[in-house]
Chain A
Amino acid sequence: MPQQLDQHAQAQVALVVFRVGPYRAALDACHVLAMTNHPTASRTANAQSLLDEDDDHAPPTRWLTLRDAQTASDNQNTWQLGVSGDITLQQLPANRLYPLPKLLLSRRFSTALCGLAFDQQQLVLLLDARKLNPSLSQAPALSQPTTNS
């Protein structure tokens, strides 16, 4: 057991970190297939509309291509999550990633909000890519598809 704890303390998790409106958020890098400046997939969703019931959302400036966990039968289906700000790949220590406090689990707007982290004294919302559901978003694709990566 102590050995497991030690391994956990030393372990790193690769995260794709981006902005969702004024907030910093991150996804497990293993779920992110690509990044584009414009939406290219037939299905897209603004990350902010998936996280917050507030309607006042800024348009996304970047698009992350994710596997569609909702259609498990066909793992090739993808969709795009609209985010903003610079997108970076970061390795964060596993022992600095915290599950969402118990009291908040039943009150969150989105079950995709699974945890929190602190990076450079800033809060980072940890999102479970498998729980992000593009069908819940009303956000249309914003412009002509142009592949950037």
Chain B
Amino acid sequence: MPTESARGVGAMPSASRRTVRHWVTVAPLLAATLWMTFDVTGFSALLRTLVPDTPTVLYETRSLPRLMGDQLLLVATASALALVIGGALGGFALTRTGRPFRDIIVNVGNLAQTVPSVAVMALAIPLTGYGAEPVIVALVLYGVLPIILNVIAGIEGVPASAFDAATGVGMSPLQRLISVELPLAWPVILGGIKNMLVINVSAATLGAVVAAGGLGMPILAGFHRYNNAFILEGALPAIALALLIDRLLTPAAGRTRAA
């Protein structure tokens, strides 16, 4: 119908234009993160402008590069572990042996959202002591969920026709997995990885509660000492980091969908 063709005129951006647009948002975020972390003079000048009436604008106990280092180390370690464990569990749930456990894994994965991640950190203290370990435990547990759920959803979302065609041309199950199922499931899995990283950046900020360092440290110190500059010193780089990771992984992860 004419009405439809008239509406369909809006041009789809070409692949290269999308790449450009992608980097146009990512590059400033990357620059901002790096600048806040390493340019002590510049960043403290900004904080002094934002919070004029504060004697100290930078948290004395630990420098920003170290705080950012803590944060990245927590997120990277936990995310790598979660990726391996989550991938293995999600894969297991799709095998013949693991098949019976698929429903309960998904169910537990959904129910686990009811437990706050910082509660897991707190509860892990008797087992792990204070420091990075309880945070890693919590981050791994929380990171595993989106990975498992998205691996399962991704592989199960592979159209039956593609599966049949791959079998029909004589691929072995492994070949089918590698050359058909994983590539088709990849956008969904990547969405899970993005989710995990975003959740982990947020949860790692709370790691300061159990003395794991990270960007939450100056924020908490700021709350305790009524120093807004400390709060912003942690909050701004943490926000920049979260947005950077999100934007970096967004274009390939596809559009938002209803849950």
The answer on A and B forming one complex is no
